[in-house]
């Protein structure tokens, strides 16, 4: 059963940035786009499982801190070598200043 899990407060994430979120032993990355839309993806890079939350967000793209693999965090799409496998993404919603992500 998918359920909405509170991940963070809206202002825990700066615009055009990312923070980590852990739930039930899994890592997620929560993004805030430059125009204040929230997104969530798997927390680890699909290349060598580095944590993405230490990476740089530019526009709609997160760059992995280890080998600079880039993903479109709005769709999870891997943007080319070294990252060849897309990231899993999760729906988000904002209610009362809290960002929720929907986890299965």
Partner 1 sequence: MTAPGMVVVGAGECGVRAAFALRENGWTGPVTLVGAEPLLPYERPPLSKAGLVSDSAGPVTIRDAGAYRDADIELVSGVEAAGLDTGAHHVELADGRRLGYERLLLATGARARPLPFDGTPVHLLRTHADAVALRRRLVPGTRVGVIGGGFIGLELAASAAARGCPVTVVELGPRPLGRAVPARIAAVLAARHVAAGIDLRCGTAVGRLAPTGTGITVGLADGDAVEVDVVVAGVGSVPETALAERAGLAVENGIRADARLATSAPDVFAAGDCCSFPHPLYDDRRVRLESWRAAQEQGAAAARSMLGGPEPYAAVPWFWSDQHDLSLQVTGLTDAAVGEAVRLRPDGVELWFGLGAQGRLLAAAGVGPGNAVAKDVRLAEMLIARRAVPDPAALADPAVPLKSLLRSPVSA
CB of 55 to partner 1, least distance (A): 7
User: Binding residues for partner 1, how many (CB under 8 A)?
Assistant: 13
Cα(11)–Cα(36) distance, integer angstroms: 10
Q: Which of 22, 36, 54, 102 binds partner 1 (CB under 8 A)?
A: 54
Residue-wise burial string across 47-67, b where 16 or more C-beta atoms lie within 10 A, e elsewhere: beebebbebebeebbbbbebe
Assess 75 for contact with partner 1 (CB under 8 A). no
Cα(19)–Cα(83) distance, integer angstroms: 20
Q: Which of 12, 33, 82, 103 binds ligand FES (CB under 6 A)?
A: 82
**Residue 20-49 contact track with partner 1, rule CB under 8 A, x = bound:** ------------------------------
Assess 95 for contact with ligand FES (CB under 6 A). no
Token pair, residue 96, equals 């009362």
């Amino acid at each position: 059963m998918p359920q909405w899990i509170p991940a963070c407060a809206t202002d825990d994430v700066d615009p055009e940035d990312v923070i980590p979120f852990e739930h039930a032993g899994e890592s997620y990355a929560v993004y805030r786009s430059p125009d204040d839309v929230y997104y969530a993806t798997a927390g680890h890079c699909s290349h060598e499982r580095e944590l993405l939350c230490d990476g740089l967000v530019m526009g709609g793209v997160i760059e992995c801190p280890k080998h600079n693999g880039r993903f479109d965090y709005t769709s999870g799409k891997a943007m080319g070598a070294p990252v060849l496998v897309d990231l899993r993404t999760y729906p988000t919603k904002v209610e009362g200043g809290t960002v929720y992500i929907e986890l299965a």
